[in-house]
């Protein structure tokens, strides 16, 4: 027995995580349970292998890149705050929250710009702020596997870079990336709603 | 009377009661109805508790209504719809959103990992271990809970331990004795008697209530019985209703003693760990076993690992290559009274058994199903899937194509290639290319 808060108290720094990510207490608890379920050996943190063992993620063509986004700067351990920070990018945008937001506070993790940044870094491997033609090719190769020939892929990559590139430097910067997707409903495409 | 005499008297009365009320009826397969009364009281109490909890939290915001809905809102539309395009559309920068969203969804909730933790209950069953997110409601409920703890740990647990101890010792002694006889009909009869009696005692040791359905389809001699696997107790539940030939690895310790004892009374197929790796050897020995058609049916769990009884995972094709008639059996536990799932990465066998013995009861349904054989032109994998679907439908479980061994190993690349193929078809079309325009 006992009230709900005794379970939330198991989560370290739950209040600062709530502020930072915007997740509700119930959602954080769900995510903490999930974090512990993925941590099969009870280490207290997640390694790449723990995420790779998720079947549905391992068959995802971008699976390895997505796992990389959880381990920035070559780190090998993923703790719970890091786990939730990445997932916070996919929190659905709450209209009311947007209206009430204090402009002096840093942008919430699930803002449109931050969602776009997450998608951008799936392409931009060397983190130089630009998607070069080569990086575009690599991402495409991951998504199509061996099904498409090199020439076909190169032409697709060239076309995509040309369409998005405005300043003619042969690469797509973050602003050009954001501009080419300005009409897209990012909020809906990159949102995961936690039900309970 | 001084202390030791009093203790002796209590022990004597206790054992006589146990013997008279539980052991003797078990030997004859008769039930005195005590466990039925216990179950009725239990059901009434849990219903009352559920009502109290519901009235207690109705004042607050709406709660989840079903534990089987996932925790995230899913869009199960196929890749074409998710990428908002038709065949032959171009690659766009935004395509990465679809894959990243699917990937993150898998990280938050995937079909397989959740099958390796205990099923969540819709309403609390007064066990601390299942109290995930039920709130404090009223003092009366707490009082009932405390009473429940006392009953479970101070009354039921000692009783169950006594029964288990008696059951296992009787089994080892019985089978060793029967093993001295030469192989004839009397030996088989006696071995069956010993098996059934001791299994019934052990089932009482868990306060097990088992409902058998369709007993006319009970596995016959010379056949193979396949069932979904939730815990080692599955074996106990099936052998209470009939004798089987077990297949498995030789263990050490208590299990090893039991295994060696069993083999004396009737032929089981135990493998050394090194032999288990050699699939062909295993299949050869099993084939030899059923060739006689007079041996007891072989009991196999094709999933290869314990799943949490909400779904059925991939059946390994090895069992279906042996030939012979397959008798499928579906086992479904009722989680309200006790969780039978063995999470081997979280609990070892001893703590698992203690948890089971301090639950209310183990209630399950066993469905025997009509025998199936491999059809013409059907290979082992297709046959395995057919049997798997039949068991899933009968037991009310969901069917998953994933391999239960995933909890230890990585998934095969072939599945990833399928996704890549689908995507390529979309952006490249049937060979027509955008490069023609260049």
User: Given this model, what pLDDT does residue A122 score?
Assistant: 87
Closest CA to A28 of A37, A38, A15, A39: A15
User: Given this model, what pLDDT does residue B81 score?
Assistant: 64
Tell me what the mean pLDDT of segment B335-351 comes to: 82
Asked whether residue B129 is assigned to any structural domain, the reply reads: no
Tell me what the mean pLDDT of segment A175-192 comes to: 84
Collapse the DSSP code of B272 into the 3-class scheme (helix H, G, I; strand E, B; otherwise coil) and give the result. Answer: coil
Question: Phi-psi bin for A35: left (phi > 0), alpha (psi -120 to 50), beta?
Answer: alpha
Quote the percentage of chain B above a pLDDT of 90: 8
Give the mutation candidate from A24, A38, A92, A143 for the B interface (greatest B CB count, under 10 A).
A143
CATH number for position B292: 3.40.1130
Res. A15: pLDDT tops 90: no
Tell me what the mean pLDDT of segment B159-167 comes to: 85
Res. A188: pLDDT tops 90: no
User: Are both A52 and A127 inside the same structural domain?
Assistant: no
Res. B177: pLDDT tops 80: yes
Is the CB of residue B109 less than 8 Å away from at least one CB of chain A? yes
Tell me what the mean pLDDT of segment B212-241 comes to: 89
- The partner residue sitting opposite A54, judged by closest CB among B92, B113, B435, is B113
User: Are both A72 and A26 inside the same structural domain?
Assistant: yes
Res. B414: pLDDT tops 50: yes
DSSP conformation class of B304:
-
Asked whether residue A93 is assigned to any structural domain, the reply reads: no
CATH number for position A56: 1.10.238.10
Res. B284: pLDDT tops 70: yes
Asked whether residue A8 is assigned to any structural domain, the reply reads: no
Q: How far apart are CA B423 and CA A143, in angstroms?
A: 7
Most confident of A57-61, B161-165, B302-306, B389-393: B389-393
Binned at pLDDT 50, 70 and 90, residue B393 comes out as: very high
Q: How far apart are CA A147 and CA B44, in angstroms?
A: 61
Asked whether residue A104 is assigned to any structural domain, the reply reads: no
User: Given this model, what pLDDT does residue B58 score?
Assistant: 60
Residues of B in contact with A90 (CB under 8 A): 101, 104
- The partner residue sitting opposite A160, judged by closest CB among B69, B71, B93, is B93
Tell me what the mean pLDDT of segment B173-182 comes to: 85
Alpha helices in B210-308 (DSSP H): 233-239, 253-265, 273-277, 279-291
Asked whether residue B23 is assigned to any structural domain, the reply reads: no
Asked whether residue A22 is assigned to any structural domain, the reply reads: yes
Is the CB of residue B142 less than 8 Å away from at least one CB of chain A? yes
Asked whether residue B83 is assigned to any structural domain, the reply reads: no
Asked whether residue A26 is assigned to any structural domain, the reply reads: yes
User: Are both A117 and A69 inside the same structural domain?
Assistant: no
Measure A87 CA to nearest chain B CA, in Å: 7
Measure A49 CA to nearest chain B CA, in Å: 9
Chains A, B: CB contacts under 8 A, how many? 180
User: Are both A122 and A185 inside the same structural domain?
Assistant: yes
Compute the C-alpha angle A112/A117/A119, nearest 5°. 100
Asked whether residue B305 is assigned to any structural domain, the reply reads: yes
Binned at pLDDT 50, 70 and 90, residue A98 comes out as: low
Question: Token pair for residue B183?
Answer: 């192989």
Res. B83: pLDDT tops 70: no
Q: A30 vs B69: CB contact, 8 Å cut-off?
A: no
If you count them, how many residues does chain A have?
Answer: 196
Torsion sign, CA atoms B181, B184, B189, B195: positive
Burial A106-144 (b: 16+ CB within 10 A, else e): eebbbbbebbbbbbbbbbbeeeeebbbbebbbbbbbbbb
Asked whether residue A5 is assigned to any structural domain, the reply reads: no
Binned at pLDDT 50, 70 and 90, residue B366 comes out as: very high
pTM here?
A: 0.73
Q: Which domain holds residue B400?
A: 139-407
- The partner residue sitting opposite B434, judged by closest CB among A7, A122, A156, is A156
Closest CA to A87 of A104, A71, A110, A117: A110
Q: What total of structural domains would you count in chain B?
A: 1
Binned at pLDDT 50, 70 and 90, residue B429 comes out as: low
Judged by CB atoms within 8 Å, which residues 127-166 of A form the interface with B?
Answer: 139-140, 143-148, 151-152, 155-156, 159-160, 164
- Name which residue leads in pLDDT, A2 or B110: B110
Asked whether residue A178 is assigned to any structural domain, the reply reads: yes
Asked whether residue A102 is assigned to any structural domain, the reply reads: no
Residue A132 contacts residue A93 (beta carbons within 8 Å): no
Residues of B in contact with A116 (CB under 8 A): none
ipTM of the complex: 0.86
- The partner residue sitting opposite A2, judged by closest CB among B136, B421, B423, is B136
- Name which residue leads in pLDDT, B289 or A117: A117
Q: What total of structural domains would you count in chain A?
A: 2
Q: A143 vs B418: CB contact, 8 Å cut-off?
A: no
Binned at pLDDT 50, 70 and 90, residue B137 comes out as: low
Res. B331: pLDDT tops 90: yes
Is the CB of residue A76 less than 8 Å away from at least one CB of chain B? no
Q: Which domain holds residue A71?
A: 14-88
Is the CB of residue B410 less than 8 Å away from at least one CB of chain A? yes
Collapse the DSSP code of A68 into the 3-class scheme (helix H, G, I; strand E, B; otherwise coil) and give the result. Answer: helix
Q: How far apart are CA B438 and CA B434, in angstroms?
A: 7
- Other residues' Cβ atoms within 10 Å of the Cβ of residue B258: 15
Judged by CB atoms within 8 Å, which residues 102-131 of A form the interface with B?
Answer: 118-119, 122-123
E strand spans, B335-437 = 362-368, 398-399
Sole residue written with tokens 């032959």: B88
> Computed over its alpha carbons, how large is the radius of gyration of chain A?
19
User: Are both A192 and A157 inside the same structural domain?
Assistant: yes
Measure A85 CA to nearest chain B CA, in Å: 12
Res. B293: pLDDT tops 80: no
């Amino acid at each position: 027995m006992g009230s709900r808060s005794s379970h939330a108290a198991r989560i370290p720094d739950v209040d600062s995580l709530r502020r930072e990510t915007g997740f509700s207490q119930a959602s954080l608890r769900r995510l903490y349970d999930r974090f512990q379920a993925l941590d099969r050996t009870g280490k207290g943190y997640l390694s790449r292998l723990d995420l790779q063992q998720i079947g549905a993620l391992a068959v995802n063509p971008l699976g390895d890149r997505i796992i990389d986004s959880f381990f920035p700067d070559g780190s090998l351990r993923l703790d719970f705050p890091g786990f939730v920070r990445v997932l916070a990018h996919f929190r659905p945008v709450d209209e009311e929250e947007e209206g009430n937001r204090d402009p002096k506070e840093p942008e919430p993790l699930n803002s449109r710009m931050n969602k776009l940044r997450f998608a951008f870094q799936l392409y931009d491997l060397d983190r130089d702020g630009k998607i070069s033609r080569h990086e575009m090719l690599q991402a495409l190769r991951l998504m199509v596997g061996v099904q498409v020939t090199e020439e076909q892929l190169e032409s697709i990559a060239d076309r995509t870079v040309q369409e998005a590139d405005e300043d003619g430097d042969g690469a797509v910067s973050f602003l050009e990336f954001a501009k080419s997707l300005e009409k897209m409903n990012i909020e809906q495409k990159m949102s995961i709603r936690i039900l309970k | 009377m001084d202390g030791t005499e009093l203790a002796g008297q209590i022990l004597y009365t206790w054992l006589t009661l146990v013997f008279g009320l539980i052991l003797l009826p078990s030997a004859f397969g008769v039930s005195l109805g005590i466990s039925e009364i216990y179950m009725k009281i239990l059901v009434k109490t849990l219903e009352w508790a559920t009502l109290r909890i519901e009235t207690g939290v109705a004042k607050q915001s709406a709660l989840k209504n079903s534990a089987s809905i996932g925790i995230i809102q899913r869009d199960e539309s196929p890749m074409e719809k998710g990428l908002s395009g038709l065949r032959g559309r171009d690659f766009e920068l935004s395509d990465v959103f679809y894959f990243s969203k699917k990937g993150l969804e898998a990280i938050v909730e995937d079909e397989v990992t959740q099958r390796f933790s205990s099923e969540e209950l819709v309403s609390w069953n007064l066990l601390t271990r299942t109290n995930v997110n039920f709130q404090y409601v009223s003092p009366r409920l707490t009082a009932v809970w405390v009473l429940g703890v006392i009953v479970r740990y101070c009354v039921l647990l000692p009783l169950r331990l006594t029964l288990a101890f008696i059951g296992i010792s009787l089994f080892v002694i019985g089978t060793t004795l029967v093993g001295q006889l030469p192989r004839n009909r009397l030996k088989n009869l006696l071995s069956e008697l010993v098996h059934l009696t001791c299994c019934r005692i052990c089932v009482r040791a868990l306060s097990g209530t088992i409902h058998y359905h369709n007993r006319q389809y009970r596995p016959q001699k010379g056949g193979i019985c396949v069932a979904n696997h939730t815990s080692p107790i599955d074996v106990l539940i099936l052998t209470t209703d009939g004798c089987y030939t077990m297949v498995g690895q030789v263990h050490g310790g208590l299990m090893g003693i039991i295994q060696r004892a069993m083999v004396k009374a009737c032929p089981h197929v135990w493998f050394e760990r090194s032999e288990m790796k050699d699939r062909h050897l295993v299949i050869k020995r099993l084939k030899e076993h059923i060739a006689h058609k007079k041996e007891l049916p072989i009991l196999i769990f094709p999933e290869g690992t314990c799943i949490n009884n909400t779904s059925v995972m991939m059946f390994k094709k090895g069992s279906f290559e042996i030939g012979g008639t397959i008798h499928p059996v579906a086992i479904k536990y009722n989680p309200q009274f006790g969780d039978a799932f063995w999470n081997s990465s979280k609990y070892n066998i001893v703590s698992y058994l203690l948890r089971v013995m301090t639950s209310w009861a183990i209630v399950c349904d066993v469905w025997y199903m009509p025998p199936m054989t491999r059809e013409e032109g059907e290979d082992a994998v297709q046959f395995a899937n057919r049997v798997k679907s039949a068991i899933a439908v009968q037991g009310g479980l969901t069917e998953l194509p994933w391999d239960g061994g995933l909890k230890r190993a990585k998934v095969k690349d072939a599945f990833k290639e399928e996704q890549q193929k689908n995507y390529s078809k979309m952006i490249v079309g049937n060979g027509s290319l955008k490069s023609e325009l260049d």
